[in-house]
Amino acid sequence: MLTQMRKGASSWPAKILLGLIALSFVGWGVGDIFINRGETRVAEVGSSEVDIRDLQLAYRNQVQPLQNSGVPVEQGSELAQALARLALDQLILRTLESNAARDMGITIDAETLRNDIAGNAAFFNNSGVFDPAVFQGVLATNGLSEARYLAILSNQISEGQFVNSIGAVPPPPSTLIDSVFRHRTEQRVVELAVIPNDKLVPLPTAETSDLRNYYEENLGNYEAPEYRSADYLLIYPDDLAETVEITEEAIQEAYASSAGAWTDPEQRRLQQIPFATEEEAVSAHQAIEGGADFAQVAFDEAGMEAEELELGWFTRADLFAELSDPIFTTPEGSVTAPLASPLGGWLLFRVAEIKPEDVTSFEDARETIESELRLRMARESIYGLANELDDQLAAGATVQETAQALDLNVKTVTDIDPDGTPEDPMSLQIIPTVPGFLDEVFFGELDFPSTVIETNDGGLLVVEVTEITLERLRPFDEVEEQVRQDWQHQELAAQAEVAAMALAQEVGSFGDVTEVFVETGASFDELQTFTRTQTPTLDNVGFETVTAVFAADAGAVVVSPSVDNTAQVVARILDVVETDVLVDPDGYRSVEISVTNGMISDVIDQNSAAMFNATSIEIDERLLEQYF
């Protein structure tokens, strides 16, 4: 619990930093916890109190991130009560720390408070300096007087100093750091082979008694989930568009009002030579006018290769105003007069190719415009449809009756489980993927349509559960073939592991592993190097193999099951490699920091637990339940 109460502050520096940010403390809703507020007291912590209004603020800070991510938190739910309890635990812990700081005589002088406020970026103006007006504005926004804020800040800093003193533990011994570093960075070099179980032993056969015993021992594997069938309406504007009537006048008006949308402006493919001075540009232009090749002039005068001349395709709107007229009045294949660049220097442009303006005629655009108008009107009408659906359902109509009354297509799903998987895999049903659909199917009441739901992709959804088949245990006769397959899979894996182990023992530390496993067809050419926290890159090899490898010594041959338990992983350990501190000083420092922070966190948690145990804490469960 104590670790959870400090979630978000995983390191000691982070705890101190968080403890010194005043407004974040206010964000937790921790006000002056020493003020007696009578009937609003939700907890007594020794001689201090926690007020329900402070808890409400702290609770909102717990809930808001969940709601922002789409997780609803309803008052009275188990989730709401758990979040309220967590927020209360945090407030109680802060109260204990404040009391302990006070008992230790920790006081904060006015100069410390003044310096902290002056250095808080929340109170800076646009020039990046402290501004009294900004300070007062922030306090007013948070509903705080200056006196109360100073009291909060004083408590906060004193708590930080108290926790700082508790966490001032001596550095861990170097022998401990060395040991942890070597453990974490040690590598094993291995030869690996993944041998299918059926290459090690033949497929076992089972007696009926074996299967029945396996069935009885694994009843949970043969339970059929709850299946439900439902009628539903899922309507999008596209579905309504075909029924919308559009007049010829409306289509013509839309075409006329958006003429630019049906016109592709003239485009020109340009080549360019830049010059530093007008004189250079004029000289090059004269040479081109005299018959010189544009690309050759670019190479001679500017050192540019042919591919460097290409700028691409441009419309008038793509160019600076100073350049567009000269360029778009120059014939195809010709070169402009020298032009002053708006960015500096002088330019020559060659119009290499022209694509003339292309206007889509009304007849060619008509179908597209009509479709767009239909869809636009359908989007507008879908809100009216939502009201019509509401009226039908409020009058007691079923989904089928509602669909018939409004001329809509009703759809069905038949015998699907909570994951949306049909009981009959051959039914080829299309299960809607719209969020909330399966929730409505599996939390809705039988023969009681849902409300009209606006989907996040612009549609309307109504669901009515029409049939419920409760979860049940499938009898043995129904699942006998599945039981047989499961039994064979398990038994084959068990026998294969024994066979692989026997072959590994035959190899020993000095035998030829390839020779011993030759009949399985295994190849041990797969060399891998990894640490305790890595898995080999070989498919189907997981952490169970890593654990087995690191539990053995160099030269040993170990066996472990593959990830899917369809094969045995045989590993011969070729070498054990320890990392030298001098080779990885950053890694060593990281381990040192990690161990130090772990020790500090343990000390702080132990101290927090001691304060909880030594302090009388009474919680008003009635008030807690009433508000949350």
Q: Is the pLDDT of residue 457 over 60?
A: yes
Q: Which residue in the block uniquely carries the two structure tokens 């670790």?
A: 3
509-512 long-range Cβ contacts below 8 angstroms, 24+ apart: 509/555, 509/556, 510/555
Q: Is the pLDDT of residue 32 over 50?
A: no
CA distances from 169 to 164, 172, 596, 601 (A): 10, 9, 9, 10
Mean pLDDT of the chain: 85
Question: Model confidence over 267-307: pLDDT tens digits?
Answer: 999 999 999 899 999 999 999 999 999 999 999 888 888 88
Q: Is the pLDDT of residue 575 over 90?
A: yes
Q: What is the DSSP string of 489-524?
A: HHHHHHHHHHHHHHHHHHHTTTS-HHHHTGGGT---
378: Cβ contacts below 8 Å, ≥ 6 apart? 237, 238, 239, 240, 241, 244
> What is the mean pLDDT of the segment spanning 575-584?
87
The model's confidence at residue 136, banded by pLDDT at 50, 70 and 90, is: confident
Q: Is the pLDDT of residue 194 over 60?
A: yes
The model's confidence at residue 11, banded by pLDDT at 50, 70 and 90, is: very low
Q: Is the pLDDT of residue 23 over 80?
A: no
The model's confidence at residue 510, banded by pLDDT at 50, 70 and 90, is: low
Q: What is the pTM of this model?
A: 0.52
Question: Model confidence over 147-178: pLDDT tens digits?
Answer: 778 877 887 787 777 777 776 778 888 899 99
pLDDT of 208 reads: 93
Q: Are 96 and 615 in contact (CB under 8 A)?
A: yes
Looking at 34-43, 323-332, 473-482, which range is the least confident one?
34-43
Q: How far apart are CA 218 and CA 298, in angstroms?
A: 82
Helices (H) and strands (E) in the chain, counts: 24, 19
Q: Are 185 and 579 in contact (CB under 8 A)?
A: yes
Q: How far apart are CA 597 and CA 167, in angstroms?
A: 9
Question: Model confidence over 54-74: pLDDT tens digits?
Answer: 888 788 888 888 877 777 787
Q: How far apart are CA 407 and CA 403, in angstroms?
A: 6
Instruction: Report H helices in 75-131.
Output: 78-103, 110-118
Question: Model confidence over 406-452: pLDDT tens digits?
Answer: 999 999 999 999 999 999 988 889 899 998 899 999 999 999 999 99
pLDDT of 449 reads: 95
CA distances from 134 to 22, 29, 148, 302 (A): 15, 21, 17, 57
Q: Is the pLDDT of residue 145 over 80?
A: no
pLDDT of 509 reads: 62
Q: Are 500 and 570 in contact (CB under 8 A)?
A: yes
Question: Model confidence over 361-384: pLDDT tens digits?
Answer: 999 998 889 888 888 888 888 888
Q: Is the pLDDT of residue 515 over 90?
A: no
pLDDT of 8 reads: 37
The model's confidence at residue 541, banded by pLDDT at 50, 70 and 90, is: very high
Q: Is the pLDDT of residue 604 over 90?
A: no
pLDDT of 125 reads: 82
pLDDT of 20 reads: 36
579: Cβ contacts below 8 Å, ≥ 6 apart? 181, 182, 185, 186, 187, 587
103: Cβ contacts below 8 Å, ≥ 6 apart? none
Q: Are 29 and 55 in contact (CB under 8 A)?
A: yes
pLDDT of 143 reads: 67
pLDDT of 9 reads: 35
